[in-house]
Structure 1
Amino acid sequence: MSKEVLAVVEIMANEKGVDKEIIFDAIETALATATRRSYDDEIDARVAINRQSGDYRTFRRWEVIADDVYIEDHVGWYIRHMDSVEEDPSKAIGEYIEEEIESIDFGRIGAQTAKQVIIQKVREAERKKVVEVYQKRVGEILTGQVKRIDRGDVILDMGDNVDAMIPRSELVGRETFRMGDRVRGYLQLVEFRPRGPQLIMSRACNEMLIELFKIEVPEIADDLIDIMSAARDVGFRAKIAVRANDPRLDPIGACVGMRGGRVQAVTNELNGERIDIILWDGSDAQFVINAMAPAEVTSIMVDEDKHSMDLAVEDDSLSQAIGKNGQNIRLASELTGWTLNVMTQTSMAEKHEIESKDQVNVFTNNLDVDEEMAEVLVAEGFSTLEEVAYVPAAEMLDIDGFDEDIVAELKQRAKDALLTMAIAEEEKQALAEPEQDLLDLDGMEPDMAKKLAANGVKSQEDLAELGTDEVLDILEIDEERAAALIMAARAPWFE
């Protein structure tokens, strides 16, 4: 029997390409299962196979459990701790006491049982092997052969009984494939499914575009050129931002290739998707200007607080700057990470004039200065009272005509104005009264309604628009009660 065991292990390991240890474990499990069944499952058994000789021994075993644990099934599998002390005092709860028993013949065990256990173990090993192999390849472009189309999802045969799926939402535009076509995709993740591991791939993600350029442009693979960001309107147009790590290199020219060969290869792979190659710049404003190509930006205004930029173009270039269905401005915004607003020069001038007037009025009304000085502050880039109050004095001293006394006075006036406005806001909130529908709301108390009103939540409708966290920031109540108040305020919505 020992030779038969070793022969089975050798054959199964070679046929399935799995480790011999997994086959040994499977046979041990099958023998233990058969042993338990021969005793009508009244005992628990363990089988140990000698890996060199193939000889095996069988042990009946009892798991040590706490004295107060109630056992309903498989009573013969357990022993209470107080009883185990007599057998082996060293055993703790959760450990096993074993006793060798006669082994059953390997050839006489239920063939179907052994087969099922071995197949299950081998299948688990194969799945684990697939996961280990492909988990390391997440982030790569892989190639497979179309096996079938399932409700628009493309199923690829990757070889070695491994399948991958490109969901319909991850295909490029309206591309179609036929059985047997070879398709490339970006491996995003390895998922566990009832039938085994499933490779999920994409052709529509930004990473697919980036990896294709790494394949086509050796300078990128060699780290001479970096792709800083990418944006895609899948199947129609894309933008990538590149920079050279070697000043002697032209990153755009390298990505375009001789007669456009490199970028054309990527375009062909992505079903004709047009690609703009943009020069990345360390200056956010210049990067945005580059990203707006082919439109030319004539002027730009940056709002750091809102992380947005206003871009002005020639009146007859507005449609080109926006692009079809807003495509160009949307891709440029995604590429740079800035919120972009594009307008004509005329509109930009009008907007700038209105904003300047508003800022001038803020300074004249709150700093008690004449219009001329207010215009100087605006011209120097000051737009709020906070900036006047808290920017370093050295920056204001650089303004022509400003000395230390003027700067100190302006900063003090700005701080006084801010304090006055804060006090006025507090008084306004303190005097705020809740509306009757908020007071009548189920579960609402007068002091709670007063606190809500002081924070700008005066009506039932105001409360309905809040989230639980926002209510908890105002009221000292638990999360469940806050949610109940919000749902009560939203009741009219559902009616």
Structure 2
Amino acid sequence: MDTSALYRTELLQVAEAVAREKGINRDEVLEAMEQAISRAGRAKYGQEHDIRATIDRKTGEVKLHRYTEVVDLIENEFTQMLVKDARVRWSDDSLQIGDFKMEELPPIDLGRIAAQSAKQVIVQKVREAERGRQFDEFKDRVGEVINGVVKRNEFGNVTVDLGRAEAIMRRDETLPRENYRNGDRVRAYIYDVREEQRGPQIFVSRSHPQFMAKLFAQEVPEIYDGVIEIKSVARDPGSRAKIAVLSNDSSIDPVGACVGLRGSRVQAIVTELQGEKIDIIPWSEDTATYIVNALAPAEVSKVVLDEDAGRIEVVVPDEQLSLAIGRRGQNVRLASILTGWDIDILTEEEESRRRQDEIRQRSELFMNALDVDDVIAHLLVAEGFVSIEQVGFVPVDELATIEGFDDEVAEELRNRARDYLDRKAAELEEARQELGLDDAMLAIEGITTERGVKLGEQNIKTLDDLADLAADELIEMLGADLAPTEEEANTIIMAARAHWFEDEE
């Protein structure tokens, strides 16, 4: 019996079996075998030689060749030969620089050590090919919910068997109080697939906000069909969550569809998430309405929106305060994440007290700056005036419409306001010169003379001094009355640093 023919057939059968078992291409297994046989060949004929093995894909016949490169300058005498010598050796005048000549070597008998080495190469290459296949299969599945079986649990970090791959669920991606044992079935969300040194890693989570969104899509057909849209999700995993939904069909109630008949749909998700309480919120285009909805179950009396600062003040009845804030601030924190706004909660009493303080401060400002009594000052505040500039530059006829004012009073108030502003500007200019403030710093948009003087008093006098500050330092130095928003502070500092880059150029 032809043993070599049997060996060749077995080689192809082994490659076929490994490829089928690991779910990879047969050619990848054969390439790994070729590399293993090449290594064994170098072990026999010398590691310094360029020896390559080929396996015929149809017959399984193994051939071993030594390659020699034709060059004009030898760097490695074992793998290279000068063009003139190569033409003589192989009696071939057509050989050119860069060509390779192959010499067939006798087939080798894989000894025990060589066979072991070959096996290691094959195992390694098959593993690499398997990992490549896993990465290709799962890289496009980020965002899917998968089912798997717990394979290992090491200090809370769970390895999940997905059948054709393994995934990792870190301890902080599991739900509190969940304890996994080998063999437990688990459902999780693929949030990342990336190549690492040890191969492709698939990361799954049960605490990710999108895990809840995907569970709703599985339980609520209207979400899967796109009739209902999930706009935002905020979770305190294992404890409480809020999900904002919008219906694209006016005849369908998005909250009712998500809750289901007698709560059947939402209850299935609550059970999956170990009893996590879920507030389903109707999303609204109107920011104030959306925030009122997000703070449910608390009742809201008033919403004050500050778009420049990106903050919202919500006023609630005194008895609703603890409900609006929630245990350890949970309710307001989740509402803030859900809406993307910073939310400050005030009681009606606190808001009333603060409003009275603001009225008193503005009244005192008008009384001192315009030299008027408290009645006129209160009238200006009641009409919505907040600064001397407003009084100084408002049209006289508009000012005269205030009850108790006429054109003469309006003109006098306007003149007094302008006189005050002129005096203040002169004082600031004098202070600016005494402090020796750099004109370039005052030319930065957002640095008024008043802000410049305030900074100069704290030894910030040049463009470089300003550029060296961080946004929070600038805000702190300017104090509550003059402080910019964080975004404005960053813009000012970047403008002050611009000349550094010009100097580099």
Shared fold (TM-score, shorter chain, > 0.5): yes
Instruction: From the superposition, tell whether residues 397 and 265 of structure 1 become closer, same or farther in structure 2 (CA, over 3 Å).
Output: farther
Aligned to 1:60: 66
Aligned to 1:137: 141
AA aligned opposite 1:198: Q
The CA deviation at 1:214 is 1.0
Given candidates 22, 27, 35, the residue that maps to 1:29 is 35
AA aligned opposite 2:161: D
AA aligned opposite 1:188: Y
Secondary structure, aligned partner of 1:348: helix
Instruction: From the superposition, tell whether residues 122 and 258 of structure 1 become closer, same or farther in structure 2 (CA, over 3 Å).
Output: same
The 5 Å alignment of 1:291-306 reads 291-306=294-309
Given candidates 94, 104, 107, the residue that maps to 1:105 is 107
The CA deviation at 1:50 is 4.4
The CA deviation at 1:422 is 7.2
Partners of 1:457 and 1:249 lie apart in 2 by 60
Instruction: From the superposition, tell whether residues 474 and 289 of structure 1 become closer, same or farther in structure 2 (CA, over 3 Å).
Output: same
Given candidates 158, 168, 184, the residue that maps to 2:162 is 158
The CA deviation at 1:38 is 2.6
Aligned to 1:454: 461
- What fraction of aligned residue pairs are identical, expressed as a percent? 37
Root-mean-square deviation (CA, aligned residues, Å) is 4.6
Contact 1:451 1:475 in 2 (8 A): no
1:247-306: CA deviations, max 9, x gaps? 111000001110011111111111111111111110111111111111111112111111
The 5 Å alignment of 1:77-476 reads 77=79, 91=97, 96-105=98-107, 108=110, 110-160=114-164, 162-192=165-195, 196-359=199-362, 383=386, 401=401, 423=429, 426-427=432-433, 429-430=435-436, 453-454=460-461
Instruction: From the superposition, tell whether residues 369 and 201 of structure 1 become closer, same or farther in structure 2 (CA, over 3 Å).
Output: farther
The CA deviation at 1:330 is 1.2
The CA deviation at 1:383 is 4.9
1:105-139: CA deviations, max 9, x gaps? 26547322332222222111111111111212111
Instruction: From the superposition, tell whether residues 294 and 241 of structure 1 become closer, same or farther in structure 2 (CA, over 3 Å).
Output: same
Given candidates 21, 31, 41, the residue that maps to 2:47 is 41
Secondary structure, aligned partner of 1:271: coil
1:13-36: CA deviations, max 9, x gaps? 334332122123223322332332
Kindly name which structure, 1 or 2, has the bigger radius of gyration based on alpha carbons.
2
AA aligned opposite 2:36: A
Contact 1:45 1:61 in 2 (8 A): yes
With 247-256 and 296-305 compared, the bigger mean Cα shift is at 296-305
Aligned to 1:446: none
Secondary structure, aligned partner of 1:76: coil
Partners of 1:99 and 1:422 lie apart in 2 by 88
Instruction: Count the aligned residue pairs.
Output: 441
Contact 1:57 1:100 in 2 (8 A): no
Partners of 1:363 and 1:274 lie apart in 2 by 52
Partners of 1:245 and 1:471 lie apart in 2 by 43
Secondary structure, aligned partner of 1:42: coil
AA aligned opposite 1:265: A
AA aligned opposite 1:100: M
Stretches of structure 2 that go unaligned for 5 or more consecutive residues are 403-409, 439-455, 475-489
Partners of 2:400 and 2:264 lie apart in 1 by 56
Stretches of structure 1 that go unaligned for 5 or more consecutive residues are 433-448, 479-495
1:434-492: CA deviations, max 9, x gaps? xxxxxxxxxxxxxxx9996426999xxx99x979x9799579889xxxxxxxxxxxxxx
Contact 1:452 1:475 in 2 (8 A): no
Aligned to 2:405: none
AA aligned opposite 1:141: V
AA aligned opposite 1:172: L
1:301-352: CA deviations, max 9, x gaps? 1111111111111111111111111111111111111111111111111212
Q: TM-score normalized by structure 2? A: 0.72
Instruction: From the superposition, tell whether residues 34 and 179 of structure 1 become closer, same or farther in structure 2 (CA, over 3 Å).
Output: closer
Q: TM-score normalized by structure 1? A: 0.74
The CA deviation at 1:225 is 0.7
Instruction: From the superposition, tell whether residues 338 and 476 of structure 1 become closer, same or farther in structure 2 (CA, over 3 Å).
Output: closer
Secondary structure, aligned partner of 1:207: helix
Instruction: From the superposition, tell whether residues 466 and 212 of structure 1 become closer, same or farther in structure 2 (CA, over 3 Å).
Output: same
